[in-house]
Amino acid sequence: MMPPALEIESLSFSINGASILKDIRVTIGSGEKWSIIGANGAGKSTLLKCLLRIHPDWTGSVHLFGRCLDDYSQRNLARKVAYVPQPGDDQRFPFTVRQFVAMGRYAYSGMFATAHKDDDAVVTRAMQQARILEFGDRTLDTLSGGERQKVFIAAALAQQADLLLLDEPTAFLDYRHQAEVSRILGEINQHNGATIVAVTHDVNAAILTDGLVLALKQGNMAWIGPAADLTQPGRLEDIFNTSFRLIEDPVTGRRLVVPQEAGQ
Amino acid sequence: MKRFGALPVFALVSLAVLAAAPLVGGGVSLDVVFHPLPRDPASMIFWQIRLPRVLLGWVAGAGLAAAGMVFQAIFRNSLATPYTLGVSAGASLGAALGMRLGLGGLLLGFSVMNLSAMAGALIAIGLVYGLTRLRRECSTATMLLAGVAVNFLFASLILLIQYSADFYDTFRILRWLMGGLEMVGFSAPLRALIVVAPVALVLALMSFELNLLTIGEELAISRGMAVARVRSVLFFLVSLMVGVVVSICGPIGFVGLMCPHICRLIVGADHRRLLPATLLFGGAFLVVCDTAARTLFAPTELPVGIFTSLLGGPFFLWLLLKPSRAGTAAV
């Protein structure tokens, strides 16, 4: 039996004495699809960054595919976990899309920067899967937000990692690109068997992803459960401290949320 | 051919400049190159003065340009250079201190002045990087302000050293601060080469790391790079390079600003191409500037540092003010 992708036991993290995450415990099975939801400042992105060692000094214990996280070298960690950061950190230098995706191969490069022998094939496959093969020679700064997001996903795919951590993957995208990115992520989950954990502040995105949900509130765990149960009475109000109305999608029968306007 | 792009052209042009520059200016003909005579003034001008000077210019230019390229990768900003960050000033302070104290002696083949300049460069990098990290975001404004602060600090300390020195030392320091390549004999270019060549080689081996630094620290960590360690190694290497170049030629400004930027426009951001292009271009650039500086107003020579600063100032302003596309914003 496959060990779980992530076993997080009482993970806590603070910056300059201010507690950001408190006692997070969750087990994420291999091949599952998770959404981490919560209000702004709930600690969602920070949790991802702790797991990636961008914030190295948390306390607690994390097992990644059955092995203690501390036992992974930075390179070995990158072969297991890939990251798609929140959109917005602009790229200032004129790398081409293909060059950028190929940087996902760093963890496989040998001493003296020699390339791994299947680098080219892996990069091409990643670009194919993220549907960006046709603009490989364009530079990053000429891309739209939606195209850019697919490039970042392709770069993460090139890492051939079994766990994909994404920070607001669809937050600033138009509807077509939202649908396309969701479809690509679903495919990665289905075909590649990768475990997917996506941070989002959008409840409907979590419901439509239809996996499991970890809800954070001010650095604490507020709730864990299947996405469909998010719409049970009082649950979202408790997580987000605001009221919601529910509407039913006439086609799928899934219940989605509409935020209540202020003053109502 | 596509794999190398414009690199062969860079190599050819750079070699052509290297070959032609010693012949520019009066008093030297091709004859002395192939049939040098002992005690012949023309032969001596070519072999003892022109050729070493051109070689030194090439090595120094390549080193300064590569140093600028590395800073631009680390700070993710095309305005980061040894000069704007105050690293040249740190090296100058170290060198001026060595000059003022009249420290002689050699350590591992380097003069005390070389070593104190390297130490000064390292301290300046530490200061300016620490100052930028205090603010969590590394914006252009923060970085330039930190550089200005470090520059002020070191400039005032250099003034202090000059003030305390006698006429002779004061003039020597002042003249050297203007930046110049007027050396006799091959010892200066050799000393520069002994540091710049190995450092350039290590930088070439670190092309992948340099690429990852430019896409951002968090992303680089998630790609599997030990960012903090790589950054320390790079700071150390660049300090060696800037230190040795500055202690020989003085703080020649703006080579590290213009050359990497122009090369990036031509060969792109990938350091596997950008580094060789920058070295070749930087070397040729400083040789051309120096040749112009010594011939334009002949028989008077301008110190080449004044010349590069005259070119670099406007270039810097253009970079700062040019309308930027969304992704290439310097700010």
The rounded percent of chain A whose pLDDT value lies above 90 is 61
Q: Helix (H, G, I), strand (E, B), or coil: what is residue B55?
A: helix
Give the mean model confidence (pLDDT) for residues B206-231.
Answer: 92
Shortest alpha-carbon distance between residue B312 and chain A (Å): 21
| pLDDT band of B326, cuts 50, 70, 90 | very low
Q: Please tell me which residue, B181 or A42, carries the higher pLDDT value.
A: A42
Q: Cβ distance A141 to B327 under 8 Å?
A: yes
Q: Which of B208, B214, B326 is closest, CB to CB, to A106?
A: B208
Q: What string of DSSP letters covers chain A?
A: -PPPSEEEEEEEEEETTEEEEEEEEEEE-TT-EEEEE-STTSSHHHHHHHHTTSS---EEEEEETTEEGGGS-HHHHHHHEEEEPPTT----S--BHHHHHHGGGGGG--GGGPPPTTHHHHHHHHHHHTT-GGGTTSBGGGS-HHHHHHHHHHHHHHTT-SEEEEESTTTT--HHHHHHHHHHHHHHHHHS--EEEEE-S-HHHHHHHTSEEEEEETTEEEEEEEGGGGGSTTHHHHHHSS-EEEEE-TTT--EEEEEPPTT-
Dist CA B60 CA B286 (whole Å): 8
| pLDDT band of B193, cuts 50, 70, 90 | very high
B262 touches chain A (CB under 8 A): no
A49 touches chain B (CB under 8 A): yes
Average model confidence (pLDDT) across chain B: 84
CATH code for the domain in which residue B97 is found: 1.10.3470.10
Q: What is the pLDDT of residue A188?
A: 94
Dist CA A90 CA B58 (whole Å): 35
- Asked if B270 lies within 8 A of A99 by C-beta distance, the reply is yes
Q: In B, which residues are within 8 Å of A54 by CB distance?
A: 217-218, 221-222
Question: Which of B291, B266, B269 is closest to B10 using CA atoms?
Answer: B266
pLDDT tens digits for B264-275?
988 989 999 999
Place of tokens 């050699």: B106
Q: In B, which residues are within 8 Å of A52 by CB distance?
A: 218, 221-222
Q: What is the pLDDT of residue A91?
A: 66
**Is the four-CA dihedral A106, B266, B76, B244 of positive or negative sign?**
positive
Q: What is the pLDDT of residue B104?
A: 63
Dist CA A89 CA B215 (whole Å): 9
**Which two structure tokens, joined as six digits, stand for A215?**
């809800």
- The bridge status of strand A163-167 relative to strand A195-199 is parallel
Give the mean model confidence (pLDDT) for residues A177-189.
Answer: 93
Q: Helix (H, G, I), strand (E, B), or coil: what is residue B110?
A: strand
Give the mean model confidence (pLDDT) for residues A57-71.
Answer: 94
| pLDDT band of B297, cuts 50, 70, 90 | confident
| pLDDT band of B228, cuts 50, 70, 90 | confident
pLDDT tens digits for B39-77?
777 777 888 888 899 999 999 999 999 999 999 998 888
Give yes or no for residue A159 having a pLDDT over 80: yes
Q: What is the pLDDT of residue B2?
A: 47
Domain that holds residue B272: 42-319
Dist CA A48 CA B307 (whole Å): 51
Q: In B, which residues are within 8 Å of A90 by CB distance?
A: 326-327, 329
| pLDDT band of A233, cuts 50, 70, 90 | confident
Amino acid identity of A217?
K
**A59-68 in b/e burial notation, b at 16+ Cβ within 10 A?**
ebebbbbeee
Q: Which residue of A has its CA nearest to B267?
A: A94
Shortest alpha-carbon distance between residue B264 and chain A (Å): 8
**Which two structure tokens, joined as six digits, stand for A123?**
């990069």
Q: How many angstroms separate the most distant Cα atoms in chain B?
A: 64
Give yes or no for residue B30 having a pLDDT over 80: no
Q: Helix (H, G, I), strand (E, B), or coil: what is residue B147?
A: helix
B117 touches chain A (CB under 8 A): no
The number of distinct structural domains making up chain B is 1
Question: Which of A193, A161, A158 is closest to A52 using CA atoms?
Answer: A161
B211, B223, B320, B331: best to mutate for the A interface, most A CBs within 10 A: B223
| pLDDT band of B139, cuts 50, 70, 90 | low
ipTM: 0.91
Give yes or no for residue B196 having a pLDDT over 90: yes
Residue B52: inside a domain: yes
Q: Cβ distance A184 to A233 under 8 Å?
A: no
Dist CA A59 CA A10 (whole Å): 8
Give yes or no for residue A260 having a pLDDT over 90: no
Give yes or no for residue B329 having a pLDDT over 50: no
Q: Which of A85, A106, A112 is closest, CB to CB, to B225?
A: A106
Q: Please state the three-class secondary structure of A119-165 as a single string.
A: HHHHHHHHHHHCCCHHHCCCEHHHCCHHHHHHHHHHHHHHCCCCEEE
Reply yes or no on domain A6-260 having CATH 3.40.50.300: yes
Q: Which residue of A has its CA nearest to B224?
A: A75
CA distances from B229 to B130, B216, B226 (A): 15, 15, 6
Amino acid identity of A142?
T
Question: Which of B256, B266, B318 is closest to B73 using CA atoms?
Answer: B256
How many CB atoms are closer than 10 A to CB B89?
A: 26
Pick from A166-175, A209-218, B127-136: least confident: B127-136
Give yes or no for residue A99 having a pLDDT over 70: yes
Give the mean model confidence (pLDDT) for residues A56-71.
Answer: 93
H or E segment and range at residue B111: strand B110-111
Q: In B, which residues are within 8 Å of A49 by CB distance?
A: 218
- The bridge status of strand A81-84 relative to strand A163-167 is parallel
Residue B17: inside a domain: no
Q: What is the pLDDT of residue A89?
A: 60
Question: Which of B191, B225, B188 is closest to B207 using CA atoms?
Answer: B225
Average model confidence (pLDDT) across chain A: 89
Q: What is the pLDDT of residue A116?
A: 63
Residue B220: inside a domain: yes
Q: Which residue of A has its CA nearest to B264?
A: A94
| pLDDT band of B331, cuts 50, 70, 90 | very low
Pick from A130-139, A205-214, B68-77, B294-303: least confident: B294-303
**Which two structure tokens, joined as six digits, stand for A54?**
């961008």
Q: Please tell me which residue, B179 or B258, carries the higher pLDDT value.
A: B258
Q: Cβ distance B22 to B54 under 8 Å?
A: yes
Shortest alpha-carbon distance between residue B224 and chain A (Å): 4
Pick from A2-11, A48-57, A59-68, B180-189: least confident: B180-189
Dist CA B75 CA B70 (whole Å): 9
- Asked if A82 lies within 8 A of B222 by C-beta distance, the reply is yes
pLDDT tens digits for B230-243?
988 998 899 889 98
Q: What is the pLDDT of residue A114?
A: 58
Give yes or no for residue B5 having a pLDDT over 90: no
Residue B324: inside a domain: no
| pLDDT band of A43, cuts 50, 70, 90 | very high
Q: What is the pLDDT of residue B34?
A: 74
Give, to the nearest 10 degrees, the angle between helix B87-101 and helix B140-164: 10
The rounded percent of chain B whose pLDDT value lies above 90 is 30
Dist CA B218 CA A89 (whole Å): 10
Dist CA A38 CA A206 (whole Å): 11
**Which two structure tokens, joined as six digits, stand for B42?**
């023309």
Give yes or no for residue B213 having a pLDDT over 50: yes
Residue B37: inside a domain: no
Q: Cβ distance B22 to B50 under 8 Å?
A: yes
A141 touches chain B (CB under 8 A): yes
- β-pair partners for A224: A214
- Asked if B330 lies within 8 A of A92 by C-beta distance, the reply is yes
Give the mean model confidence (pLDDT) for residues B275-298.
Answer: 92
Give yes or no for residue A29 having a pLDDT over 90: yes
The H-assigned helical ranges of chain B are 7-20, 30-34, 41-44, 51-75, 87-101, 112-134, 140-164, 167-177, 187-205, 207-214, 217-222, 227-249, 255-267, 271-295, 304-321
Q: Cβ distance A12 to A19 under 8 Å?
A: yes
| pLDDT band of A109, cuts 50, 70, 90 | confident
